[in-house]
Amino acid sequence: MRVSTTLTLVVALAAGCARRDPAPEGGHPVTRTAGDANAPADAGAVTSKETDMHEVKSSTDLIALRDVYRERIAAGFSGTFEVHVAAGTYEPVTWELAPDPGAAPPAIDLVLRGEGASIPRPSRLVAASIRIEGLVVTGPVSRSIEVEATKRIDLVDAAFIDGRTTDPNSRAPYLALRARGAITLQVERTWFVRNFQQGKLPGVLVGLAASPHAGGRFDEVVIRDSAFVGNAFTTELELADALAVKIERTAFYKTWASGAFLGCASASKVTVTDSVLVAEDLAHVARVDAGCAPIELGAGTRVYARSYTPSTAVPASLQVDRAALADRAAIDATARVADGAAKRKPEAIPATLHAELMAALRP
């Protein structure tokens, strides 16, 4: 199936607006802008910022996007490259939206949007800014899903379910978020469910770090209203090359005594507020390296660890009021909501489930 492409205008001045001409036979509708030699006289004054729209309905469409994206890069396009992914059945394929490996990210704002569509994971996404919204990403990787930007990365109303690494000798993150220059990361209402690593080498589910090609940092990281449930990695969220990291209203839940939810390699300050962390013991909540201060578990955060008592030692990796700590047995009666969430299929997660999960884990 051919990828459908439509150029649409993003910004128009009050003096006028763009007009869509009928599509030529066998072609696509085109919104013409002022400055286009073929634009109608009444098109009005507009900016050159455009949105290049693409409709995806099959795995073939996903594969074809790579060449279209590179053509737009070669043409010097600096607008928004927006992909709408339709619901349907997608075969496991390898696809990407990126320039040649190691090349600088293009001056393109990349948007991947769907209505709960479940798609095979991309291998690379590289742009000035990247937004993944309303998509369910699934499938194995031999290396990483690489997401690299020069301005910002947004994961909104998304889910990563049943992802796994296939190389037992690789320590690359399943999802590698890379900063090229100073960027912002925002994760909202996003779920990470039942993802796991192969082998015994230390594995990472989501890893933040500077670009290996040019360096960089995360000036601001905000993760809110999200959930990490039933994952099996040595570290679920690895923070590196980051300044302020704020985790808000987020649930971390698993039922086995291995790995840590949070790992900090280099970050100025990490705070967790109004969140819930459920582990077999406190040692599996966080790991902090020499480049980090203890992770601050702040206002409204609760931690449940099996057989916790007031005499249980608090790891040096955590800064927390003991009033926030409790025996995991306190939530055994209500944890079935979390256990059910850990069994979700790779499909859209109901918007109400996060509130149910948070309520169940804070009786």
Cα separation, 225 vs 69, whole angstroms? 32
pLDDT digits (tens, 9 = 90+) for 225-240: 999 999 999 999 999 9
Provide the pLDDT for residue 33: 31
Cα separation, 137 vs 116, whole angstroms? 10
Could you tell me how many residues make up the chain?
363
pLDDT digits (tens, 9 = 90+) for 25-39: 333 333 323 233 333
**Predicted confidence band of residue 169 (pLDDT cuts 50, 70, 90):** confident
pTM confidence score: 0.87
333: left (phi over 0), alpha (psi -120 to 50) or beta: alpha
Cα separation, 353 vs 359, whole angstroms? 10
Is the predicted pLDDT of residue 12 greater than 90, yes or no?
no
Cα separation, 140 vs 130, whole angstroms? 22
**Predicted confidence band of residue 47 (pLDDT cuts 50, 70, 90):** very low
Is the predicted pLDDT of residue 340 greater than 50, yes or no?
yes
End-to-end Cα separation, the chain, in angstroms: 51
Cα separation, 45 vs 48, whole angstroms? 10
When computed from its CA atoms, the radius of gyration of the chain, rounded to whole angstroms, is 22
Cα separation, 345 vs 231, whole angstroms? 14
**Please, what's the b/e burial string for 41-78 (b: 16 or more CB within 10 A of its CB; e: otherwise)?**
eebbebeeebbbbbebbbbebbebbbebbbebbeeebe
